[in-house]
Amino acid sequence: MAKDKQINVFLIDDDEDDFVIVKDYLAELNGQTTFNLKWESDYQRAVESVCTNHYNICLVDYRLGAKNGLDFIKSVRSSGCEVPLILLTGKGDREIDYEAMRLGASDYLIKTEIDASMLGRSIRYAISHSNSIKELNAKEEKYRSLFERSVDAIYMINKEHQFIDVNESMKNLLDYSKNELLEMGMKHLFHDQDDYQYFNQMLAGQGHLKDFEVSLIRKDNSRIICLINGIALNDNAGNVYGYQGIIHDLTMRKRAEEELLMAEKLTMTGQIARSMAHEVRNPLTNLNLALEQLRDEVEDSDDTALYFDIIRRNADRIEQLITEMLKSSKPRELNLEVGSLNDVIEEALSMTTDRIKLRGINLIKNFQHDLPFVAVDKEQLKTAFLNIIINAVEAMKEEDGILTVETVSSKETVSVCIKDNGKGIPKDEIKKLFDPFFTGKKGGMGLGLTSAQNIVNSHRARIGVESEVGKGTIFRITFPQNGTRV
């Protein structure tokens, strides 16, 4: 059979006799494999030569004059050279053996115990081991590339749910740096700790979790809706040492669905309002005309004046209701001006000053002084803020209420937060909060928040609600900067 394989061997040794011995051993091994030996006695030239990648294996003598074989291994590895290294020494020394392995040597041989067969096995093992390491590194690099370039966020956590590793998408999703995440636990990202308990129980009990919808908290305290998946990681003995999973951001899809649903509701409300306006206003006009005619013909008295006033006030109430219905469902035409939300919210608060003082409400204002400007219709937005502020004031007990109004900004958004310590809103009612005609107030029409959301949506902004019964409610209105979406 033809000799079809060659192994290029590099030897660094300052003793020519050792070179001759190694050369003879390799000559004995020549068969289907041919061993080509290159000898170098100078330390620096040897470092430069062995790193040319022309060699399959390097044999390193421990004694090299002023330096030793361990120094040589350090120099080679520090230069990034991955050639397999075998350390040769005149006598056995366990500490040298361990240190050589730690520095990156593949094997350690004692010269007095070597023969051709042993040297051949050591060379084949070192080359095979080196090739296996290269393959593993290549695979790791491949999967690392997939890990880092994934569109979805990927995480690895230990058994205590502390982060071990995260990819670029995970950092972008939550707006944390990698170092910040590695110092955190998964628990701190969950908005609802009941959701975290379920996440924990499923991974610990079942070893996996699939498509669990949760609300996570970003660095700026904004919330995102995600699908989270996870699976247990096992060592060779089958013991769980951590978990790995993917997080898919559903926020934009959920918001698109909410906007579509809201548009459908407003369309339906508009249809009802237009129908009622047509069907009710005509007879209402006739009623008002008849009332005026009747007033002229009926003799004045205290009773008749009272009844006329009751009829007039209720007719006006019906007219007002129809007008509010039409306004709340009609798409808003905006007169946009670039300005500060601080000014708009300040004007809205000034219109409720008397109401706040009469109810003994403590007003706290935390405005960001360098708040970025945004394009808004100031008058319409003032109306939206006013509706939310009035709702907050009326939800709190007199002499015990605290109304907190804040403005903050992030890289992409500007937000207004209106917080009260009122009675709060049950979870099952939060989703209905912006529905037309839904109200928890006696005598309310249930159109104020519908109108507010319509105005906010017209600005391509978002309005979100967080509430806990008995503790209070937060309305967060978030506006995009520079044409971005929120």
CATH number at residue 311: 1.10.287.130
211 and 289 together in one domain: no
In the numeric block, which tokens belong to residue 217?
């908290």
Return d(Cα 107, Cα 133) in angstroms, integer.
15
- Which region among 97-111, 127-141, 260-274, 293-307 has the lowest average model confidence (pLDDT)? 260-274
The rounded distance, in Å, linking the Cα atoms of 306 and 401 is: 38
| Residue 309 banded pLDDT, cuts 50, 70, 90 | confident
Give the number of domains in the chain.
4
In a domain, 286, yes or no: yes
Q: Is the pLDDT of residue 442 over 70?
A: no
In a domain, 55, yes or no: yes
The pLDDT of 200-215, averaged and rounded, is: 92
Quickly tell me which residue has 């003994």 as its tokens.
Answer: 360
Distance of CA 194 to the CA centre of its chain: 19
φ/ψ of residue 38, rounded to 5: -120, 125
Portion of the chain with pLDDT greater than 90, in percent: 39
- The amino acid that residue 233 corresponds to is L
* Residue 346 scores a pLDDT above 90: yes
- Which CATH number do you get for residue 99? 3.40.50.2300
**Helix or strand (DSSP H, E) at 417:** strand 413-420
Residue 440 DSSP symbol: -
Provide the terminal-to-terminal Cα distance of the chain, rounded to the nearest Å.
Answer: 72
DSSP 65: T
What pLDDT does 2 receive? Answer: 46
For 27, other C-beta atoms within 10 Å of its C-beta total 11
Q: Is the pLDDT of residue 486 over 60?
A: no
Using an 8 Å Cβ cutoff, are 229 and 246 in contact? yes
Q: Tell me, yes or no, whether 486 lies in a domain.
A: no
- Domain shared by 90 and 121, yes or no: yes
Percent of the chain at pLDDT exceeding 70: 90
Q: At 95, is the pLDDT very low, low, confident or very high (cuts 50, 70, 90)?
A: confident
Report if residue 188 sits inside a domain: yes
Which of 197-201, 231-235, 289-293, 395-399 has the weakest average pLDDT? 289-293
In this structure, is the dihedral angle defined by the CA atoms of residues 249, 250, 256 and 258, taken in order, positive or negative?
negative
Is 155 within 8 Å of 174 (Cβ atoms)? Answer: no
Supply the mean pLDDT for the chain: 85
Q: Are residues 272 and 233 in the same domain?
A: no
The structure tokens listed for 21 are 């011995």
- Do 417 and 355 have their domain in common? yes
pTM over 0.85? The answer is no
Residue type at 345 in one-letter notation: I
Q: Largest alpha-carbon pair distance within the chain?
A: 140
pLDDT at residue 140 greater than cutoff 80 = no
Look at 345 and 332; give whichever has higher pLDDT: 345
Got the DSSP string for 30-60? -SSEEEEEEEE--HHHHHHHHTTS--SEEEE
Looking at the DSSP bridge assignments, the partners of residue 97 are: none
Beta carbons within 10 angstroms of residue 359's beta carbon: 17
Task: Identify whether residues 219 and 285 lie together within a single domain.
Answer: no
| Least confident among 146-160, 255-269, 445-459 | 255-269
Q: Is the pLDDT of residue 19 over 80?
A: yes
pLDDT at 445: 59
Judged against a pLDDT cut of 50, whether residue 1 lies above it is answered with no
- Of 146, 164, 198, the position where a domain reaches its end is 146
CATH code of the domain containing 453? 3.30.565.10
Q: Assign 81 a pLDDT band (cuts: 50, 70, 90).
A: confident
Pair 128, 25 in one domain: yes
The answer to the question of residue 485 being in a domain is no
In a domain? residue 458: yes
Lowest mean pLDDT among 60-64, 75-79, 234-238, 438-442: 438-442
Q: Could you tell me which residue, 246 or 442, shows the higher pLDDT?
A: 246
In a domain? residue 379:
yes
- Examine the pLDDT at 351 and tell me if it is beyond 80: yes
CATH number at residue 168: 3.30.450.20
Instruction: Quote the radius of gyration of the chain (alpha carbons, Å).
Output: 39
Write out the residue range of the structural domain in which residue 308 sits: 254-329
Under the banding of pLDDT at 50, 70 and 90, the label for residue 180 is very high
Instruction: Find the mean pLDDT for residues 167-191.
Output: 92
Of the residues 299, 329, 359, which one is the last residue of a structural domain?
329
The per-residue pLDDT for range 250-303, each reduced to its tens digit, is: 888 877 777 777 667 667 766 766 776 667 777 878 888 888 888 777 777 767
- Write the single-letter amino acid at 98: Y
Say if residue 13 is in the same domain as residue 61: yes
Distance CA 455, CA 469 (A): 27
Cα 278-280-286 angle, rounded to 5 deg: 105
Task: Give strand ranges (E) for 329-373.
Answer: 337-339, 362-367
166 is a domain residue: yes
Whether 274 and 320 map to the same domain: the answer is yes
Q: Same domain for 312 and 371? A: no
Cα–Cα nearest to 327, from 335, 337, 319: 319
pLDDT of residue 307: 81
**Residue ending a domain, choose from 116, 146, 176:** 146
Rounded CA separation 230/455 (Å): 40
Of 4-13, 131-140, 177-186, 271-280, the one with minimum mean pLDDT is: 271-280
- Clarify whether residues 354 and 444 are in a common domain: yes
Shared-domain flag, residues 318 and 360: no
309 DSSP assignment: H
Closest CA to 420 of 399, 441, 398, 403: 403
Q: Are strands 472-480 and 413-420 parallel, antiparallel or unpaired?
A: antiparallel
Helix (H, G, I), strand (E, B) or coil at 238: coil
> Which one has a higher pLDDT value, 268 or 227?
227
Q: Quick one: 282 and 354 in the same domain? A: no
Cα dihedral 128, 134, 140, 142 sign? negative
